[in-house]
Amino acid sequence: MKYYIIAGEASGDLHASNLMKALYQQDDNADIRFWGGDLMQAVGGTLVKHYKERQFMGFAEVIMNLRKVLGHIKFCKQDIENFQPDVIIFIDNSGFNLRIAKWAKAKNFKTHYYISPQVWASRAGRVEKIKQDVDAMYVILPFEKEFYAKYNYNVHFVGHPLIDAIADRSQVNPIAFRKQYKLSKKPIIALLPGSRKQEITKMLGVMLSLVNDFSDYQFVIAGAPSQDFEFYKPFIKQDNVAFISNKTYDLLSVSTAALVTSGTATLETALFKVPQVVCYKANPLSYQIAKRIITLKYISLVNLIMDREVVTELIQGDLNTKRLKTELTKILDDDNRVAFFIDYYDLEKKLGGKGASEKTAKLIYDSCK
């Protein structure tokens, strides 16, 4: 069968790459064309556009780059028509994907969505349109199936693909890892400032402002695969800071604590059982718009899944050196760390175990063959 997959940023690239592997196992004749990244490209198929070409964070940034966005949408539609896939698979990235899904459904293409748009966070009314435009939805968060049921939309809960991604990775030798990247013997504090330039710019400076106050620790920046070291370089002004690109999981596996930009990385950090402080700061206009339409009590996936505050969230004005120092001090205290580990194990149980990619691939293949 012919599959057309559309993924957005780094996390979408990861989950889509694992789904592609599972599709190739299910379907010996799979022909896959996709929008994504390096991980998907390494699996096979044909890359149409890399996600680096269309990374815009927040409402204001999308508006400022509207011509580019519309150009990508027009090109995508034409490319789908030329390819004539048996099924289109959308991975997260709702701003772009829901527009394509509406058009594709009207053109009688089969539309499947893996990793739901976060309609439970804002504008829940969009569910009715999703029901019309998406033939099958595969959700990865335990509360999403119940959420969609309120709108009489039967979706498939397949578990979270991060469970597989982390369980299947090669184990890291901590001593060899430190030697390879010339790290000190000090305990490591990982800095995960995000993957897009806008969020890195807003988060990394505040994170690095703590370096001199925690001289007994080695700070290590987790570089995103979408950004070169030259972009990070101007932020690094202290000696006790290292940079490691595209090795976030290896870094988390040897870290004592982490400062993490809100997003998938908060859940990844939790699954590695690393105590964390969640950070978020947006363009002021984007933040004011989001504040008026987002109805959630929390912004981190950890707290949303547990439905209580497990990790501290420092948002917008609260993300400053003083508050961040206070919260980092707390999570480095041994008495507080025990509670993190207990909560993290409960979190993992809620995520449904291994096999998300295989379950989703089988459901897609069986429904389209």
Q: Bridge-partner residues for 223, per DSSP?
A: 245
Spell out the domains of the chain, with CATH numbers in brackets.
2-160+353-368 (3.40.50.2000), 167-350 (3.40.50.2000)
Say which residues have a Cβ less than 8 Å from residue 244's Cβ, sequence separation at least 6: 181, 220, 221, 222, 223, 250, 251
Q: Which amino acid is at 55?
A: Q
pTM of the model: 0.81
Question: pLDDT by residue for the chain (369 residues), tens digit each?
Answer: 999 999 988 888 989 999 999 999 999 999 999 999 999 999 999 999 998 776 555 555 555 556 677 888 999 999 999 999 999 999 988 888 999 999 999 999 999 999 998 888 777 788 999 999 999 999 999 899 999 999 999 999 999 999 988 988 888 999 999 999 999 999 999 999 998 888 899 999 999 999 999 999 999 999 998 788 999 999 998 888 999 999 999 999 999 999 999 988 999 999 999 999 999 987 666 555 555 556 678 889 999 999 999 999 999 889 999 999 999 999 999 988 999 999 999 999 999 888 999 999 999 999 987
CA dist 7 and 87 (Å) reads 15
Nearest to 251 by CA among 280, 212, 224, 213: 224
- Cα dihedral sign, 74-197-228-171: negative
Instruction: Please provide the average confidence, as pLDDT, over all residues in the chain.
Output: 90
| Residue found by looking up tokens 């580019």 in the block | 68
131-161: burial string, b at 16+ Cβ within 10 Å, e else:
bebbbbbbbbbeebbebbeeeeeebbbbbbb
